[in-house]
Amino acid sequence: MRDLAPHEEAAQPLAARRRSDFTRSLVEAATSRRAGSAWLSAVRCIASAGRKRCGAWTRVARPEAGRVEWSCPSCGEQGVITGFEGSEHDLSAHIATKKTLMWGVDEESRDVLLAATKALPSLRAIVARTSPVAEVPGFLRIDATVGELDAMYTLVEQLRDGTRNRWRIELLEELRGSLCDAMDRF
C-alpha cells in the first residue's frame, strides 16, 4: 500500500490509477469491519479479460493485523495487501463496537456517499462496510450503529442543503427517508 502513487498524481496512467483506487477501496472495506473471515464487499473487481472488465463484487478479509486478502469469485483474480496500517485508508479505528442496524442503499447512493466522505473517516467507514445482498439485486446492506446512522443523517442533510441539482436532491431525500426508517426500527 505504501508503494502506491498518490491518488492526485496526474502523470499516473489511467490503468495504474484504477488499480491504486481499487487497492485503497479494498483496504477501506476490509478495515471497516473486525478482522476475521472473508465477506462479500461492494468493491467491484477491475480485472480485465480482453477489453471487458469483470465488475463482480470482491471478497475481502483481514485474517490478521496488517494483512488484507481479497479475491474475485467470478474471475478468480486475488491478492494480498500489506503496508496499510496507520494510513488514511486504514479505517480500523472506526469499527462499530455496539449493536448495529441494517440500512440499505443502491450503488448510485453509495457512490455519492463515498465521494462526500473522503475527508470524514468515521463516516467513510460506515459506507466502506457495504455488502451486496444476493437475494435482492441492486440492494446494498450497511450495518451501522444508531449513532453512526444519526451522523450519516446529518451529513445527508448538509449535502441536501448544499445542492440545487434536482436529481441529487431526490437521491438525498430518498437517503434521508431510508435513514429515518432504519433508525425507527431501533
How large a percentage of the chain has pLDDT more than 70?
A: 94
pLDDT value at 123 more than 70: yes
Distance CA 6, CA 144 (A): 30
Distance CA 119, CA 180 (A): 24
Distance CA 123, CA 134 (A): 25
Tens-digit pLDDT profile for residues 31-56: 999 988 899 999 999 998 778 899 99
pLDDT of res. 9: 61
Tens-digit pLDDT profile for residues 127-144: 999 999 988 888 999 999
Confidence of residue 7 (pLDDT cuts 50, 70, 90): low
Where do the structural domains in the chain lie, given as residue ranges?
14-81, 96-184
pLDDT mean over 89-110: 94
CA 13 to chain centre: 24
pTM for the structure as a whole: 0.90
Distance CA 4, CA 9 (A): 10
